[in-house]
Structure 1
Amino acid sequence: MGALIRKEVLTVTIKTATTTMAAALYLLVRREHSLLNISTCHVLISKIFGKALSVASTETNLESSQPENKPKVEDEIANIRNVSNLPQRLRAKLSHVNEMPDLNDDKIQNNTRILRKIYAKYGKSSGIDPRIMWPLRSELKVIKEDERDWDPTFQDLVDKMKQKKLAEQKEKKEREERVAKNMAMMPKWIAEYHKREAAKQLAQNEQEKKKQKLLDEARDYYGYSITPQDPKFRQMIEEKALEEKKAKKAMKKQQKTERAQAFLQKQLEQKAKEEEEEEEEEEEKKNK
């Protein structure tokens, strides 16, 4: 009797829903001026009614089957109703299905985050130990460190302020000592600066004198005054530099020769001294 009542209710529900769908389809076709004619629309509506009645008949036949085949019947009903053809793991996430995932899956058993989500959604009916919601020791340590960084205690704030103040005082003291030390060295640095400036000025004056001397020599050589930009002046400087180079080379050679002569003279004197000492020793032996 109960099965018959459920069948009637289901049939009426499907007919009502199908009629609504058929009417909506008819209005859509009329409104959009589709190429489908009225007879084709009626054929589509008839097919929809036939499909709905076929589903209702199948569900009624499955419900009236033997009790021992009930799980199999429910699976077949679920397959018929699954018009989305989604896999079970994805279909279970739909809001109207809301089936709890299989906890025997290794990906779920080894993932604490997923287990916590399942317990938060299904509660005690999930069969998961509620202690899993409490953070692990490692997680609790990280949470405490984050709280200490982002929400310190009043004593931590006071200690941090004291450390900051001590660091500022230390920096101020070091800066004052550095300034005092630099001020004590200031007279020496000023004297060194003036000494460097004087040496620089002296070198500049010597350069100017040397340049003026070259200009005077160029005037005496050519018989008229020339400017430093004149090619003749540059040629004269190059010739003079070459002469100075030759003179330096000759001087080095002479110095080398003098050193060699001095070394040879020293060796001769040393040898003469040794021969003299040997003669004295021989005389002493003869006298003995």
Structure 2
Amino acid sequence: MNLCVRLKCFRYNISSHLYRYSTTSEAIEQNEQVIIDDSDVAQAKEEEINKKRNISRLSMSHHNLVNGKRPYDYPMSLAHLTVKYNRKMYGKYGSASGVNPSLCWPTRADIREKLEYESEAYPFTIQEMMETTRQKRLAEEEKILKRDQEIVAKMAKLEMWKKELRNKVAKKTAEAQAAKDKKERLVEEVRRHFGFKLDSRDERFQEMLVKREKEQKKQEKLARKEAKEKVMIAKLQQKNAEISENK
């Protein structure tokens, strides 16, 4: 009889303890759920307050840029996953960017590619480029010196060229004046030939003028021929005299 009573009491105690434990667990879970719900509500309220504080109406990325922060806390496109973008973020925001600084160091492939590019783009050494630049400078200085010398030489001949030009102009002026005087003399001779005043536009006057011009040209031609013959005779005489002296 006592054993049965004890068993019943033991079962009752276990049942009461289990009931208390289950009740306590449910209460703890409810309390945790309430705490989580309260934290979510608080975070939502905080976000709402921050949104209302942003009176500029800028987007979050632009707002971060204005305040010197990284525009995005997590990637928004494939470009944000590239090494170039992350290097840029670290270079601008430092450790606050959250980027591993080891990404800023070039890889072996980057170094190899850079060396290949430099070997093609800049095939000469610094000494070779300096020597090439020196040779170009010497050639340019020699070119300038030669040009200066040519200018000095031309300036020395300037007076002679001026004199030749003045003589040429004077000769042409004299020839033009002589032709004009010759024409006037011919016209005067034709007028004297007729013995009376005759219009220079008259047909008879023009025919006689042409005839006189032909006669004058013929005389001038004969005169040039005679002068040329005289020069040749003089040269022959001088040459014969030199031969006689040599004998």
Q: TM-score range by the shorter chain?
A: 0.3 to 0.5
Determine which structure has greater relative contact order: mean sequence separation of CA pairs < 8 Å that are 6+ residues apart, divided by chain length.
1
Q: Given the two structures, how large is their TM-score scaled by the length of structure 2?
A: 0.37
Q: Given the two structures, how large is their TM-score scaled by the length of structure 1?
A: 0.33
User: Which of these two proteins has the greater Rg computed from alpha carbons?
Assistant: 2
